[in-house]
Amino acid sequence: MKIILAGSSHWHAEMHLDAARFYGAEIAGIWDQNPGQAHAFAAHHDLPFIEDFTEILSSPPDVILLMGHPSTVPARVRAIIGAGIPLILEKPAASHTRELMGLRDLARQHQAFVAVPLPNRFGPAVAAFERLHRQGRAGVVAHCQFRLVNGPPGRYIADGVAWVVDPAVGGGGALRNLGIHGVDAALSLATGRLGLKTVSIANRIHPGPVEDHALLVLEDEAGALFIVEAGYTFASMRPGGDFEWRIVAANATLVDHGDRANCATLDDAAIVDLPVELPATRYRLCMRDTLDRLARKAPPSVSIEDYVAAMSLIDAAYEKAGP
């Protein structure tokens, strides 16, 4: 399967390249709105360089993975959908949810394949919970905690994407950028609508225009609680940061710390270690699932619909927190 990476200046470009190669996809080209950056990236990895974006549309691959600045991505999404090319859409795809909703509506109109890489959907705790659920062994969800706290926000300035911490462009701080993974996880496990019980937005360590720490407490219609914590307050630039995905159900407790994971089940009194996939390489699992579904003409596991749902809940959290 041929894939083009469009937007090689995005800080996840190397992860997506690794994922595509690990899956065995053919990298048909590298493009970026900064031709010099794309040329250097392509040369470094011995891949074809594409200078003009219109070349991608005129000789389309099997799928385009699109990354980039939120001010320019929406127009390219519309062009790709209009050309009938399947799309993997990296976040942030727009500065505001209303613009993202417009892209969702366009995708609906064209019945387009638009996958969104939220790789923690494929982590070991989630995968094990889904297996138990299919077996009828998980039981009702009681509470979950999703924590993703990385190092200081200066990493984005160092990577040449300072706009990530500009609220007018990135749309917010740690909650928007990192917390979306936890919000999406909560939405995927919730029964019915999720309500906001508590919102805490703070900026105590790294003063700037966006928050460096956020915590949400959510409750679904069945009474299950979900805690989402996101931040830039981990005292290290180590990949993965301070990470925990915890799912607690009637018959199962699953905990994923990124570099280790386990599952306890009540019915058989077992506690087992789960296969580990580091957060930084979970894009491989996401890519495999996405391309497998594309080949089977099945809808993506995580779609632009899911992206809009998570963004909308984050909007509500920011509104509840106030100025």
184 and 314 share a domain? yes
22 and 108 share a domain? yes
Sheet (strand 141-149) strand order: 195-202, 213-219, 225-231, 141-149, 242-249, 252-256, 261-265, 270-273
CATH number reported for the structural domain that contains residue 102 in this entry = 3.40.50.720
80 and 65 share a domain? yes
pLDDT tens for the 323 residues of the chain, in order: 999 999 999 999 999 999 999 999 999 999 999 999 999 999 999 999 999 999 999 999 999 999 999 999 999 999 999 999 999 999 999 999 999 999 999 999 999 999 999 999 999 999 999 999 999 999 999 999 999 999 999 989 888 899 999 999 998 899 999 999 999 999 999 999 999 999 999 999 998 899 999 999 999 999 999 999 999 999 999 888 999 999 999 999 999 999 999 999 999 999 999 999 999 899 999 999 999 999 999 999 999 999 999 999 999 999 999 87
Dmax over Cα atoms in the chain, in whole Å?
59
The Cα-based distances of 138 to 65, 157, 222, 248 in angstroms read: 35, 43, 16, 9
107 and 205 share a domain? no
184 and 316 share a domain? yes
- What is the pLDDT, as a whole number, of residue 159? 87
* CA proximity to 210, closest of 318, 301, 287, 108: 318
47 found inside a domain:
yes
CATH number reported for the structural domain that contains residue 183 in this entry = 3.30.360.10
Within 13 Å, how many C-alpha atoms sit on residue 67's CB side? 23
What is the C-alpha separation between 234 and 211, in angstroms, rounded?
14
How many folded domains does the chain comprise? 2
Among the candidates 115, 130, 162, a domain finishes at: 115
CA dihedral 293, 294, 298, 304 (to 10 degrees): 100
35 and 182 share a domain? no
294 found inside a domain:
no
Among the candidates 67, 83, 115, a domain finishes at: 115
| 112, 63 contact by CB (below 8 A) | no
11 and 50 share a domain? yes
Output the CA torsion sign for 147, 157, 313, 196.
Answer: positive
38 and 152 share a domain? no
108 and 167 share a domain? no
> For the whole model, what pTM was predicted?
0.96
176 and 90 share a domain? no
288 found inside a domain:
no
33 and 50 share a domain? yes
Among the candidates 115, 143, 168, a domain finishes at: 115
274 found inside a domain:
yes
Q: Domain range holding 217? A: 119-279+304-321
219 and 242 share a domain? yes
In this structure, what DSSP letter does residue 205 have?
S
Q: How many residues does the chain have?
A: 323
293 found inside a domain:
no
